[in-house]
Structure 1
């Protein structure tokens, strides 16, 4: 078992930090989370499943075990009628993350608390702002009490909501990673450009700023380049692994021209995105590009799999614990060129 653990800042100073996000889609894909409500009840209902998912992403190269408390805020719990489970769910998700982080055989993984967009923030309503602040305050307080290494505040499309999140993290004297989810307008919904929002968040004390979710590599990378130019500190990039393009910059409205069935929603989002994935090699190429322009905190968001995270980690020069299982076609019956395959694979190859 690992015995030492550097801080997030120490790891950033030493090189690239890999962070796996995307538990929401992964839990739904594994059959333990309801699409639609998207509340992480798995932390209470199936803790062993959540631990294994944490473990899979960590061993695939994630330096961070991100506590699965995305959408585990008071408003979401009120909607599903389980507000009494709010605190137990948050604490359970963090405790499970800490258990898994200690299993890392080389260096204990970092554990991050997690807060996110609330979907109730209204820039014209002071009462909504206070409600959001109180929701963040209690979640960050629980994170502090449970001993996280830092708090990840993510997927904000209002700059002011991101500022409130940052203030509540700093109030607990915890390091903050703050990332934005930029909608199709290509700016924050309260008017700032993503790069200006990130610059201000960095100046206000966020250790890492950047973007996550909504956009795939192709439509996130141009923003990351501008953020990197405007921000002196560390920058994060965690796209979704879907093929978003300029005419469909987010995964909310991606079309599937090959679909012939009736979809339950107007778009492929959120449960019909399967044909629109980037493959792991495309994601690895993006990771190389991100590192080359100075992105320090790299990962993937909704839709990510452990194999994708491993490809991203390896592309940045890191060897994952489970890199021992990375693809090797030398002994594949169809593609292998190993001497032990002589005499039978040539025939397969010519007729495949």
Structure 2
């Protein structure tokens, strides 16, 4: 089957986009929490390919090159600026290798740029530094032949606009995702729906939200954006039980924790008990699709099983849907008439 572009796939229906590599690789033991720099593409390339592949087989139509935080500022912090370009190019090349393995239709490969953490609305030099950081990363993406650029996790509207300008200058399609912190607006004062409308009018193919917020505290804003924009809408929450009192995963409390954790909050290494389950994720995905979302997935904390739940909830089938839960033959909870009846009778006491 000929490989369709992102625009063609969006026009045809729903596009599944798996993010969350950062937490997944930390969970597997190949990435350091704190600095959160994706050195894995150079140090353990086969591990990164496995993660790419696992999420693609769970339903993702996109293999997102793992260059989140692979910008000049983060590499400076860990003292490895000399590895910046090799790391970026390697992450893209590995993504292309895995995308070509898709048995039905070659997956899209997205380049990735993200929040820089140096943007300061009061500092013109910071804005120029951000622009140059984006420009060099996008240049490598262009040279390596990505299908589009995912610009993500922007909590300043103006930084998102700089990202969009640089993507469009490279003549690449742009999906721009915003991430609101606890103020429930962008940090430079824009509402998220206002920001998305400006970004769409400026040429973004997809606008929406990712990261920071779980389904419960992202969805109300997705519905506001849906009423404001005319084009393609994206939603990629984190799979955690955020609340109105704690709208992001940065300050989520764990009331059941009985030990003293070494970090000030459960973020980022003690969030485990605060997951939403795959069935809650599926219900959210249906709700998001009904609201008009057609670029859908999950961000930090996502697992392949969760992405598969999103895929199936919106009416699609993953390559690995054959491994989706089927409890009919479970020795305690199954309904198959060949199962031992004494086990079935015992299940309420197990």
CA contact (8 A) 2:64 2:112 kept: yes
Question: In the aligned structure 2, how far is the partner of 1:349 from the partner of 1:44?
Answer: 49
After superposition, the Cα gap between the structure-2 partners of 1:350 and 1:272, relative to the gap in structure 1 and judged at 3 Å, is: closer
Bigger shift: 139-148 or 338-347? 338-347
Question: In the aligned structure 2, how far is the partner of 1:347 from the partner of 1:334?
Answer: 8
Partner in structure 2 of residue 59 of structure 1: 57
**Pairing of 1:156-305 with structure 2 (within 5 A):** 156-305=154-303
Question: In the aligned structure 2, how far is the partner of 1:264 from the partner of 1:100?
Answer: 37
Q: For residues 191-244 of structure 1, what are the alpha-carbon distances to aligned partners after superposition, in whole Å with 9 as ceiling and x for unaligned?
A: 110000000000000000000000000000000000000001101000000000
Post-superposition offset of 1:340 = 1.2
Secondary structure of the corresponding residue to residue 296 of structure 1: strand
Match of 1:94 among 84, 92, 95: 92
* Runs of 4+ more than 6 Å apart: none
Secondary structure of the corresponding residue to residue 29 of structure 1: helix
Question: In the aligned structure 2, how far is the partner of 1:344 from the partner of 1:221?
Answer: 45
Question: In the aligned structure 2, how far is the partner of 1:189 from the partner of 1:58?
Answer: 33
Question: In the aligned structure 2, how far is the partner of 1:80 from the partner of 1:4?
Answer: 42
CA contact (8 A) 2:208 2:235 kept: yes
After superposition, the Cα gap between the structure-2 partners of 1:350 and 1:248, relative to the gap in structure 1 and judged at 3 Å, is: closer
Post-superposition offset of 1:351 = 2.9
Partner in structure 2 of residue 69 of structure 1: 67
Question: In the aligned structure 2, how far is the partner of 1:38 from the partner of 1:249?
Answer: 22
Question: In the aligned structure 2, how far is the partner of 1:218 from the partner of 1:84?
Answer: 41
Secondary structure of the corresponding residue to residue 222 of structure 2: helix
**Pairing of 1:141-156 with structure 2 (within 5 A):** 141-156=139-154
Partner in structure 1 of residue 5 of structure 2: 7
CA contact (8 A) 2:111 2:150 kept: yes
Question: In the aligned structure 1, how far is the partner of 2:97 from the partner of 2:346?
Answer: 47
Secondary structure of the corresponding residue to residue 84 of structure 2: helix
Question: In the aligned structure 1, how far is the partner of 2:248 from the partner of 2:340?
Answer: 48
- TM-score, length-normalised on structure 2? 0.99
Post-superposition offset of 1:350 = 4.0
Structure 1 gaps, min length 5:
none
Question: In the aligned structure 1, how far is the partner of 2:122 from the partner of 2:341?
Answer: 74
CA contact (8 A) 2:289 2:314 kept: yes
CA contact (8 A) 2:331 2:340 kept: no
Question: In the aligned structure 1, how far is the partner of 2:22 from the partner of 2:346?
Answer: 41
Post-superposition offset of 1:339 = 1.4
After superposition, the Cα gap between the structure-2 partners of 1:157 and 1:350, relative to the gap in structure 1 and judged at 3 Å, is: closer
Question: In the aligned structure 2, how far is the partner of 1:238 from the partner of 1:344?
Answer: 45
Secondary structure of the corresponding residue to residue 282 of structure 1: helix
Partner in structure 2 of residue 79 of structure 1: 77
Aligned length: 350
Question: In the aligned structure 1, how far is the partner of 2:272 from the partner of 2:117?
Answer: 26
Question: In the aligned structure 1, how far is the partner of 2:343 from the partner of 2:263?
Answer: 46
1:137 has 2:135 as partner = yes
Question: In the aligned structure 2, how far is the partner of 1:247 from the partner of 1:310?
Answer: 30
